[in-house]
Amino acid sequence: MSASQAELIAGVRPILKRVVTNAGMLLGGRLVNAVLSLGYMAIAARALGVRELGVLVLIQAFAQFLGDVVKFQSWQTIIHYGSQPLDAGQVRPFQQVLRFTLVLDLASTVLGIVVGIAGCFLFAGHLGWTAEEAPGAALFMLTIAFMVSATPVGLLRIFDRFDVMARQAALIALLRMVASVGAWLWMPNLTGFMIAFAVGTVGSWLYLAGAALGELRRRKLLDDFSWRGSLSAGMPGVWRFAWNTNLTTTLEVAFTHAATLIVGALVGPAQAAFWRVGRQVADAIAKPAKLLTPALYPELARLRSEHRYAAMWRLATQVGLLGGGLGAVLLAVSIFAGPPILASVMGAGFAPAAVVMTWQVGAAVIGILALPLEPMLISLGKPGLAVRVRLAVGALFLGILPWLVTAFGLIGAGAGLVAAAGALALGMLWFILKENGNRPVAPAPPPATAERLEGEV
């Protein structure tokens, strides 16, 4: 091993340690979230039955779909454009980034609510709920305002307050669990459980936004803050960056909420419930490894600002290998223990969801293996490359999904999800390799820098 390689490893090792440490803090909250999520879904399943649970799932999926589509990924903008002024102590430039993201969040919130309320009445009967259930669904769309939390998330990530997000992840599931128990006891119907789900969304948002506001005040970053002034001056390419990251997420929901809506529209709310329950378990199994991604973004952004591209590549590779090892273990757990756990927790009526769940877990594991690729592209300032891949794969997946569902049922949808996840990973990898080959190799850091990095925590 050459001296420069040894110095590179010494420099990357403490960064990887921070990534894993921050992911570990998130993991505690997400594990609580995963267990409680299965708990409140099980309560809802036993109280409502297959059909009404399917309606609840479809209404929630519609709200989340709209929230994700209209929501700009402002947290990525804060990290990408705010890291340098924050590290340099430049309050005014940082406030400009903050103003930009807050305006995007507010505008997207209004748009999402308006489209959601109109859609609940226009699509009643087409997406799984009836005209009589449409008013309740429309009221549920108000929760979209509390799903657009990109700016608080970005602030907490750039301030390295992953502990707050860990508690928030547990809080949303805890509130829904408690509210679901209340609904089961006093209002065991669709309206009661819509209220229960809304309680979790609103309560966790208030905690997250309050914590972010407190950090801003503590760091005196709100002193003389003004809503007036240019939104994008001094931030070259910010609009393009914001639109590309928004489009990337819009395409990503094709693999989650849009798929649920398509299944419900084609084969009914009961099959949508099976699909959603399987996806809930798959997400819970994959969540520990996927938590490396939000912890990875700030570190890649810092390395990019220092033009340390070789270190970025090595860090992404190590995270991918770590996630892949966890993914292999979790897939084995799903294969051998998933079906019996699903049947015992959700009830015998949900046993058919076990088979499609295996496909969904397989797709999730592929996503775990590829999890560093998109953060790498975005941190390199190339979100458009990620958009191209997602656009091609998402369009193909959504185009073929109706045929897969009608011809092969949920198994066809699951197989399509696996194929799409594989194509997405390969496309991202191809662009990463191409982009990495075009980047100049930065000179190795001097020994003093390596020693300083080696001592970082």
pLDDT for res 441:
44
CA-to-CA distance for 138 and 321, rounded, in angstroms?
Answer: 44
Tokens standing for 124?
A: 């009643």
Q: What is the DSSP letter of 442?
A: P
Phi, psi for residue 62 in degrees, rounded to 5? -65, -45
- Give me the mean pLDDT over the 410-431 stretch: 89
Q: What is the DSSP letter of 143?
A: G
Give residue-wise pLDDT tens across range 313-330: 777 777 777 767 777 777
In DSSP notation, 180-239 reads HHHHHHH--SHHHHHHHHHHHHHHHHHHHHHHHHHHHHHTT-STT--S-S-SSTT-TTHH
CA-to-CA distance for 366 and 419, rounded, in angstroms?
Answer: 10
CA-to-CA distance for 68 and 29, rounded, in angstroms?
Answer: 22
List all residues 6 or more positions away from 37 whose beta carbon is below 8 Å from its beta carbon: 173, 176, 280, 284
Instruction: Give CA separation, 37 vs 40, 44, 102, 334, 343, in Å.
Output: 5, 11, 30, 17, 16
Give residue-wise pLDDT tens across range 339-385: 777 777 676 677 777 788 888 888 888 887 777 777 777 776 676 77
Tokens standing for 141?
A: 């769309």
Angle between helix 3-70 and helix 292-305 axes, rounded to 10 deg: 120
Q: Point out the least confidently predicted range of 38-47, 248-257, 325-334.
A: 248-257
pLDDT for res 11:
52
The ranges assigned to domains in the chain are: 3-454
Give residue-wise pLDDT tens across range 156-191: 888 878 778 777 777 888 899 999 999 999 999 999
For residue 371, give the 3-state DSSP assignment. Answer: coil
What average pLDDT does the structure give for the chain? Answer: 77
Q: What is the largest CA-CA distance in the chain?
A: 71
Give residue-wise pLDDT tens across range 87-131: 777 888 888 888 888 888 888 889 889 999 999 998 887 877 888
Give residue-wise pLDDT tens across range 131-164: 888 999 999 999 998 887 778 888 888 887 877 8
Give residue-wise pLDDT tens across range 202-223: 998 999 889 889 888 888 888 8
Phi, psi for residue 319 in degrees, rounded to 5? -65, -40
CA-to-CA distance for 139 and 195, rounded, in angstroms?
Answer: 10
